[in-house]
Structure 1
Amino acid sequence: DEVRKLAEESRKAVRNSKEKIVGIVDKIHLTYDSMEGINASAEQQTASMEEITETANRLGGLAEELKQSLMMTQESKSKKERRKLLKQEYR
């Protein structure tokens, strides 16, 4: 009788252990899926940051070109004004 009791308790313990293991495996799969999603999101964010950096660099280059153009225009304007003043002085 005691042997049957022990055998039944052993079966219950094995069944409980199996259920716990299945639960743990399910949680591992969920964790893995979550990590995959996080990884994909991180890759998208990295790509977005690279795109933003490229755009910022292009804008910086355009700003520098605009600055140079404005400086050249200002220099040209100053030279024309000086020539005009010199012409007026020599008249």
Structure 2
Amino acid sequence: MPEAFASARIPGAVNLPYRDMTLESVSKLDSDLVYICSCESIHCNAATKGALKLAELGSKVKRLSGGITAWQAAGYPVDRDISTTALTAVTPSRCTC
């Protein structure tokens, strides 16, 4: 969900929803890297679906348990789009996976 990605993400993250993953869309990924799939929280399964799809397409992958909310709660930094900062302080994004 673009809104959730805009509101908080791991620095350097790329938004590649599992529904958009194809052999062609992941062909430029570096095969030497391990990719981390994340989603909003423990209530979302998009990271699990993304990790499975990436693995099926030949990438090395791990899933971030607890999503970006657990990442933030542990004190790790996040990037966010400036236009969403005020909105996310009031309204958390909702998973639509």
Q: TM-score range by the shorter chain?
A: under 0.3
Higher helix share: 1
Q: TM-score, normalised by structure 2?
A: 0.17
Higher strand share: 2
Bigger radius of gyration, 1 or 2?
A: 1
Q: TM-score, normalised by structure 1?
A: 0.18
